[in-house]
Amino acid sequence: MYEIKQEKKEDWWDVESLLDLSFAPGREALSSYRLRDGVSPVSELCLVARDINGIIGGSIRFWPIQIGSDKVRALLLGPIAVHPTIQGEGVGGELIRSSLDLAKKSGWTRIVLIGDEIYYTKFGFKKSTFLKFPPPTNPNRLLYLELKSDSFNGVIGEIQRAE
């Protein structure tokens, strides 16, 4: 059993250790990290899953971004990580559902991520053909979600770091 809570400042290193364990070395060289450089995460949407002993078994973070020449405001989901020993137990799905609900309640309307289309479609994400993620990124893994109907209408272009 895991309890979902907002990530606290003192959780940072535990979450970073989980991310190191969950992802290949060099994860910080990915283009998504360039969008995060010098930008604070959207703290109210960054969540951790703790077991009954208070140990972090999963985390999810969100970052502000902007899209296209109009600099349309959106969220970048990621990274999301679940400890390898509890993967498949629904912790990741609960983190995603909880954070999407919080994002919607907070007034966010658009989310993008780089991920597996088959996994993320169950949360409503769709493959994008109108957005461009900084290279090197596989464009087939660029997904989007409208938290408000038609919030991506007319939104096109390159995803950029928030100003």
Alpha-carbon span 82 to 144, nearest angstrom: 21
Position 20, amino acid? D
Q: What percent of the chain lies above the pLDDT cut of 70?
A: 94
* Phi, psi of 57, rounded to the nearest 5 degrees: -110, -10
What is the DSSP pairing of strand 47-50 with strand 56-67? antiparallel
Tokens matching residue 59: 């985390």
CB 8 within 8 A of CB 46: no
pLDDT tens sequence across 122-142: 999 999 999 999 888 889 999
pLDDT tens sequence across 138-163: 899 999 999 999 999 999 999 999 98
Report the pLDDT value the prediction gives residue 132, as an integer from 0 to 100: 94
Per the structure, the complete domain to which residue 99 belongs is given by: 3-161
CATH of residue 39's domain is 3.40.630.30
Report the pLDDT value the prediction gives residue 47, as an integer from 0 to 100: 98
Q: How many domains does the chain have?
A: 1
For residue 18, the tally of other CB atoms under 10 A from its CB is 22
| 12 Cβ contact partners less than 8 Å away, ≥ 6 residues apart | none
Report the pLDDT value the prediction gives residue 33, as an integer from 0 to 100: 60
Give the chain's residues under pLDDT 50: none
pTM for this prediction: 0.92
Pick from 66, 67, 77: which is nearest to 32 by CA? 77
Report the pLDDT value the prediction gives residue 161, as an integer from 0 to 100: 92
